[in-house]
Structure formats: C-alpha cells, structure tokens
Chains A and B, each alone.
Chain A
Amino acid sequence: DAKTTQPPSMDCAEGRAANLPCNHSTISGNEYVYWYRQIHSQGPQYIIHGLKNNETNEMASLIITEDRKSSTLILPHATLRDTAVYYCIVRAYNQFYFGTGTSLTVIP
C-alpha cells in the first residue's frame, strides 16, 4: 500500500473552512483515499473516501488531484467539535495503514 504524508498539526478558526492536505505520491491505480478522524481516545470515525473523482457528503468534501498524488479534505464550516486527529489513508485490498495524522485544533 502507498504511504501518506500529512502536516503534524493545523489550526483553524471556528466557522471557517478547514483544508487538510495529504500527499500520497506512490498511490497506485486501484487504491482508494480514505479519511478518518479520532477524537481523544475514541475509536476513529469514518469521514469520506474516493478513488479519483471529488466526493462530498454531509461531513466533508474530498478533493483529489488529477494525478492522484495528493488530496485535500475540506470541512466547510469548522466547529469546536471538529478538533481531532485526522488520518489520510490509502488502501487497496489489504489493511489500512494509519500514519501519524494531522492534529486539527479549531480555535474559538
């Protein structure tokens, strides 16, 4: 499986959009990009996933570059409850590899 690179931490003002980047330059054609988040000591929560098209759901949007080497998770209106560690994962058939993630802090 390809590995991912994320900034270790980011801040975002409450009510603003949070844009979390992820590099996955070695991704292969059949690997999906998944995003999860983990709020302190709880189980990770699924957010969104995609293959090559941009995706949107009630929680977030996922923008994947045309070459698929990077992606951005967008939380359109961040709230204090969005403070968490966000993991970007690529996966084909076998297991998920969780990297170190990005610790997002939403500031009032």
Chain B
Amino acid sequence: KAGVTQTPRYLIKTRGQQVTLSCSPISGHRSVSWYQQTPGQGLQFLFEYFSETQRNKGNFPGRFSGRQFSNSRSEMNVSTLELGDSALYLCASSLALEYEQYFGPGTRLTVT
C-alpha cells in the first residue's frame, strides 16, 4: 500500500506570496492532519480534517488554511508569506480520528 505523498517536496517563495501544498493520504484513510516543523518550535499542529470537515485547529494565524476533498486528499494554503513561515510542512493520515497517524516525507518551504 502506498504511503502518504506530499507535493512539492521543495519550494522557494518570496515574502508576500502565497503557497499551496498538497497531500495524498494512504488509500482508505479519511483523516488528514498538517504540522509545521521548525528548529526553534519543533513539531506544531496546524489542523486536522475528517470527511471534508475541519475537526481541530492549532494556534496559527488565519493566513494558514486548509481543505479536504471528497477523495480525502488535502491541501493547505499559506497567504502573505513571512520569513518565519520557512519550515518543513508535514502531512499525516489516519483511518479516522483517534487512530495512529502515518506521516508523509514533508514539503520543505523556504521563504526569502
């Protein structure tokens, strides 16, 4: 069974731009979560989707948004990029809420 895939793997953007990251969960998984990882803050939870609905949200500004499609694929969007948004963005999928999560390889975003 294929794992979680994330595209693109690497991305360079400039301040003020916006970016969209994509995540394809493991087949049959209906829950998708997003995390941001930086050297200073570690792994921080962004949001979680289940059946196209956002179920939980972390403490991030409204510039960070996401959505989930009917096939469980998910996208996250960051608008008006700031230098501090440079990070590894990780997507994780699970069968449903409360099940163990399986992570993708991440998207490395660099904001210049």
Contact = CB atoms under 8 A, between A and B. Distances in A.
- B contact residues, range: 20 to 34
Interface in A38-56: 41-46, 49
A43 B106 contact: yes
A100 interface: yes
Contacts, number: 48
Question: What does DSSP make chain A's interface, helix, strand, loop or mixed?
Answer: loop
Contact of A43 (B4, B48, B56, B100): B4
A45 B58 CA distance: 21
Interface string A83-95: 0000100011111
Contacts of B97: 93
Interface of A: 32, 34, 41-46, 49, 87, 91-101
15 contacts: A34-B100, A41-B106, A43-B103, A43-B105, A44-B43, A44-B90, A44-B92, A49-B100, A87-B43, A91-B98, A94-B55, A94-B56, A95-B48, A98-B44, A98-B45
